[in-house]
Structure formats: structure tokens, C-alpha cells
């Protein structure tokens, strides 16, 4: 779909909204092809997975749809929402162990004892081919594409599989991968010439599947051969990207889904100005408590929620004068606190700490100037 963000970033942006898949992830494409390619005997016996990833949820859904018995082993610390979703998709969910490794060992043991096929995200030709249908569809849906942007990182199967399809159809289309500056797994692996497991991600729940380090040599080889560029973005850029997608596209996505657009938000690809660019929005499985935190943080980063403190006389009318100034400047008050006991200034004064919402960076600067003009000692809390 053509994006309303195009004008803002000076290029024709087309969004491939894979987060609208039934389980909220592009992984369904690879999983469906993988399950359909299994021998009938194995389909009859069933499959087993052991993680709370998008891959596992896709297996739960499509195995149930294909009437393949499916078991999902999850550790006891898994978020209840993920457990419920896997059950809703039709899987038999078993809680085991306190860590993901415990669940994986138990799943392998059950697979060996019962003849189930243990599945984990890999980079087999079948799985990569299923993911690569994204590249095929974008080529068919958007004529005269100049560039396509994909999430990269640990699980770069989508990037590798789609690059194979796109470069076969048109070698002149630029294929770009985007990963996090915090753990540039793919760039380090490409430099080393082999998968690099040294990069660690301390924020797995935010980054989701893109934080993994388990891609294989097939994906790395295809990426090194076919992908034109891999760039890294900051966490702040990803949060702003999530905010832009929510506001302009009504798209609620996670970090993996927003990381491709984050490269444009951060200005990492100036060569694409005036070009026709497709961005894959591949995942929308963000836990609700994280969504609240991400949006609140993004609004602060975007200079639209700000905080200041000032000292005023503790007399009738002084607080109303401050509120009148905020109303005149069209700032929306989100929170206001008064501190009397621990104020270090002169007696009979009150410290006011106020959090307000503004329209944009320019509006914030105007408000700041108006406050400093009236209250020269006002202190602005830097983000």
C-alpha cells in the first residue's frame, strides 16, 4: 500500500503489511510451505516446537489448519498472553522448566520418544522459499521498484529468501537490510564470513525475533551475495518509527516490524530520495505493557511530551496564572505536582513539576521560551 509517510520523507514509500497475517507475522509464509512439504507419515505423527516466538505461533496455527498434531513447549516464565495465543491457534501447550533451554531439551526428548518432528527456525531451502514469496509479491504489486528494505539481525531468512527472488526477477532493485546498532549481528557475521554468536541482546522482549543469533550459513551466504547494503539504527529511531506507523498508518507493530522504516526515519538512506521504495512491516506482536512504554517513550523522544519545574509563590492565584500561560500556549497538561515540604528556596514558595503534551518540536520550543520569559528560573527536564 502507498504510504502517507511518503511526502514526509521525500520518496514514494510502499508498505508491505505482513503484520496483518493471521498470527501477526511474516513467519507464516515459511512455516506453511515447510509444513506442506513434510511427508504424509510425519504430518500424521505431528510436530513439536519450544519457544514463544512468532515462528512457534505460526507453526501452532498452520499445523492446526492442516490437521497436523502440534505441541508447543513453553517455559513457566512465558508471558500468559503468548501461552493463550498458542492454545487459541490450536496447539497443545505444555509448560516445562524455568528457562527456554529447559523447554527445548524437553521438546527434543518428547520428539524422540513419540516420533514428533522437532521444529526450530532454520534456513532450509523450503523455509527460505516460503519467506521469499514476500519479495515475489512486492515485485508483482509495485511496478518499477528502486529499492526494498527488510529487517535483518539474527533471523535474516526473510531478507535472504526475498533477496533471492527479487534479484532473480530484477538485478537492478536495491535490497537493503536493517538491524539494531546495539547488536549488529549480521554485519559482524558478514565481516567474519560465518555466523557470529558473540553479539548479545539484553532486551529480547522489545526486539523479538530480530534479536536472535541462530541464522545459518545458507542465509548468510545468500545475504552476502545478493544484499546490496546493511545499515544499523538506534533504539530511539525504532521507537519513532513505531510512533509514525501508528499515527499515519494506524499500524500497531513491534520493533521487528518498525525497524525497516527506522532506517528512513534516521536518514540512513539518503540515496533513496525521490525513488520508489518498498518497506516490509513484518511483525505486530507487541505485548500491551510494552506498547504503552514504547509509545510514551517515543512521544518524549519526538519532543511532544516534556517536563519542567519552577518555583512560584504559595499564594492564591499564582498557580492559576501558570495554568493560564499553559492554556494560552495550547499545551495540554498531563500531570502536575506541587512540593512544599522539601523546597530549598525561600519560605512560602512551592515547587511545581509539570508534564505537558505539545504538537511538535517547534511548539515545544515556543512553550519553553514563553515559560522562561515569565519564570526565568524554570528548569527544563532534558530527555
Q: pLDDT tens digits, residue range 270-283? A: 999 999 999 999 99
211, 203 contact by CB (below 8 A) = yes
Q: What pLDDT score was predicted for residue 122? A: 85
Based on the domain organization, do 17 and 153 belong to the same domain? yes
pLDDT in tens, 105-119: 999 999 999 999 999
pLDDT in tens, 50-66: 988 999 999 999 999 99
**Is 98 part of a structural domain of the chain?**
yes
**Is 1 part of a structural domain of the chain?**
no
Q: What pLDDT score was predicted for residue 190? A: 87
Based on the domain organization, do 98 and 211 belong to the same domain? no
pLDDT at 199 over 70: no
Q: What pLDDT score was predicted for residue 340? A: 83
Which CATH number goes with the domain that contains 358?
Answer: 3.30.70.260
pLDDT at 17 over 60: yes
Based on the domain organization, do 141 and 258 belong to the same domain? yes
pLDDT in tens, 68-82: 999 999 999 998 999
Share of the chain above pLDDT 90, in %: 79
Say if pTM beats, i.e. exceeds, 0.85.
Answer: yes
Higher-pLDDT residue of 259, 203 = 259
pLDDT at 145 over 90: yes
Query: Of the candidates 45, 61, 127, which has an alpha carbon nearest to the alpha carbon of residue 93?
Result: 61
The region of weakest confidence among 1-10, 142-151, 308-317 is 308-317
Q: What pLDDT score was predicted for residue 11? A: 98
pLDDT at 210 over 80: no
Based on the domain organization, do 130 and 214 belong to the same domain? yes
Higher-pLDDT residue of 113, 196 = 113
Q: What pLDDT score was predicted for residue 52? A: 87
pLDDT at 155 over 90: no
pLDDT at 284 over 90: yes
Based on the domain organization, do 160 and 255 belong to the same domain? yes
pLDDT at 202 over 60: no
The region of weakest confidence among 112-121, 197-206, 266-275, 325-334 is 197-206
Average of per-residue pLDDT values in the chain: 92
- The pLDDT of 203-207, averaged and rounded, is 72
Q: Give the count of domains, the chain.
A: 3
**Band (213; pLDDT cuts 50, 70, 90):** low
Output phi, psi for 360, to 5 deg: -165, -170
**Band (211; pLDDT cuts 50, 70, 90):** low
Which CATH number goes with the domain that contains 148?
Answer: 3.40.50.1100
pLDDT at 215 over 80: no
pLDDT at 345 over 80: no
Based on the domain organization, do 85 and 154 belong to the same domain? no
pLDDT at 293 over 70: yes
Based on the domain organization, do 204 and 69 belong to the same domain? no
Last residue of a domain, one of 256, 274, 299: 299
Based on the domain organization, do 317 and 168 belong to the same domain? no
Residues 6+ apart with CB under 8 A from 184: 199, 232
Based on the domain organization, do 225 and 273 belong to the same domain? yes
pLDDT at 153 over 90: no
State how far the Cα of 255 lies from the Cα of 285, in Å rounded to an integer: 9
Query: Which of 219-223, 329-333, 343-347 ranks highest by mean pLDDT?
Result: 329-333
Q: What pLDDT score was predicted for residue 197? A: 66
Based on the domain organization, do 73 and 18 belong to the same domain? no
Cell numbers given for 237: 529511531
Amino acid at each position: 500500500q502507498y504510504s502517507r509517510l511518503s511526502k514526509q520523507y521525500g520518496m514514494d514509500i510502499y508498505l508491505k503489511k505482513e503484520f496483518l497475517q493471521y498470527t501477526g507475522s511474516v513467519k507464516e509464509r515459511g512455516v506453511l510451505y515447510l509444513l506442506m512439504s513434510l511427508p504424509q507419515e510425519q504430518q500424521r505423527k505431528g510436530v513439536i516446537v519450544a519457544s514463544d516466538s512468532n515462528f512457534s505461533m505460526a507453526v501452532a496455527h498452520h499445523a492446526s489448519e492442516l490437521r497436523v498434531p502440534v505441541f508447543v513447549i513453553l517455559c513457566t516464565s512465558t508471558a500468559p498472553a503468548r501461552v493463550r495465543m498458542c492454545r487459541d491457534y490450536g496447539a497443545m501447550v505444555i509448560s516445562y522448566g524455568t528457562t527456554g533451554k529447559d523447554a527445548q531439551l524437553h521438546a527434543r526428548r518428547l520428539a524422540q520418544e513419540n516420533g514428533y518432528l522437532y521444529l526450530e527456525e532454520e534456513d532450509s531451502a523450503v523455509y527460505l522459499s516460503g519467506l521469499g514469496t514476500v519479495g515475489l509479491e512486492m515485485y508483482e504489486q509495485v511496478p518499477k521498484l528502486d529499492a526494498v528494505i527488510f529487517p535483518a539481525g539474527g533471523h535474516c531468512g526473510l531478507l535472504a529468501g526475498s533477496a533471492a527472488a527479487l534479484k532473480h526477477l530484477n538485478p537492478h532493485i536495491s535490497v537493503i537490510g536493517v538491524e539494531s546498532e546495539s547488536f549488529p549481528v549480521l554485519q559482524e557475521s558478514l565481516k567474519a564470513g560465518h555466523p557470529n554468536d558473540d553479539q548479545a541482546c539484553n532486551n529480547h522482549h522489545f526486539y523479538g525475533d530480530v534479536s536472535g543469533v541462530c541464522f545459518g550459513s545458507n542465509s548468510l551466504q545468500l545475504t552476502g551475495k545478493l544484499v546490496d547494503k546493511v545499515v544499523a539504527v538506534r533504539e530511539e529511531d525504532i521507537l519513532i518509527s513505531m510512533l509514525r506507523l501508528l499515527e499515519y498508518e494506524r499500524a500497531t507493530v513491534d520493533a521487528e516490524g518498525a525497524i525497516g522504516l527506522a532506517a528512513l526515519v534516521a536518514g540512513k538512506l539518503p540515496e533513496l530520495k525521490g525513488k520508489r521504495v518498498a518497506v516490509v512491516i513484518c511483525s505486530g506482536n507487541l505485548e500491551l505493557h510494552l506498547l504503552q512504554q514504547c509509545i510514551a517513550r517515543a512521544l518524549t523522544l519526538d519532543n511532544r511530551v516534556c517536563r519542567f519545574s519552577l518555583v512560584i509563590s504559595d499564594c492564591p492565584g499564582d498557580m492559576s496564572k501558570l495554568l493560564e500561560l499553559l492554556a494560552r500556549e495550547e499545551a495540554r497538561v498531563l500531570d502536575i505536582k506541587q512540593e512544599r515540604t522539601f523546597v530549598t528556596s525561600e519560605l512560602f514558595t512551592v515547587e511545581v513539576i509539570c508534564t505537558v503534551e505539545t504538537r511538535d518540536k517547534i511548539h515545544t520550543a515556543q512553550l519553553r521560551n514563553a515559560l522562561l520569559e515569565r519564570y526565568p528560573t524554570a528548569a527544563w527536564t532534558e530527555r
